Amino acid sequence: METNRTQEQQFILAKKRVEKISKFYKHLATYVIINIFLSAIFIAGDINDGDTFYEAFSDYHNYKIWLFWGIGIVFQALNTFGLSLFMNKDWEERKIQKYMDEQNNIR
């Protein structure tokens, strides 16, 4: 059953989609800026505690927030763009063509 949407309904749906994408990109920018700032503070604190720059820079604990907040970003990306972000119809068609080409080259 195909739904017929008016021009106004299509506009509202498109507007909501754009707002959702905009919120995602703002969240992503916030994620990067704040985590760079926090990592710099953590590294500076480790250096003040006597670690070398390399030790402080390579310490996993200074980057845990990147990982945990990053998991949230991934879920938001999936919610915003769906799985089509990774495996859409074009991807399926390219893979099918690739495997067909490989089979033709074997013979």
Q: What is the mean pLDDT of residues 88-102?
A: 76
Where does the chain have alpha helices with state H?
7-48, 53-57, 64-81, 89-106
The rounded distance, in Å, linking the Cα atoms of 56 and 39 is: 10
> Over 50: is that where the pLDDT of 22 sits?
yes
Between residues 50 and 33, which one has the greater pLDDT? Answer: 33
Q: What is the mean pLDDT of residues 45-55?
A: 89
Token reading at 58: 């390579």
Tell me which amino acid residue 67 is. L
Q: What is the mean pLDDT of residues 16-23?
A: 91
Per-residue pLDDT band for 85 (boundaries 50, 70, 90) equals low
Between residues 23 and 86, which one has the greater pLDDT? Answer: 23
What is the residue extent of each domain of the chain?
A: 7-106
Q: What is the mean pLDDT of residues 67-91?
A: 82
3-state secondary structure of 33: helix
Residues 46 and 55 sit within 8 Å (Cβ to Cβ): yes
- Mean pLDDT over the full length of the chain: 85
DSSP character at residue 84: G
Q: How far is CA 95 from CA 82, 83, 104, in A?
A: 20, 16, 14
pTM of the model: 0.68
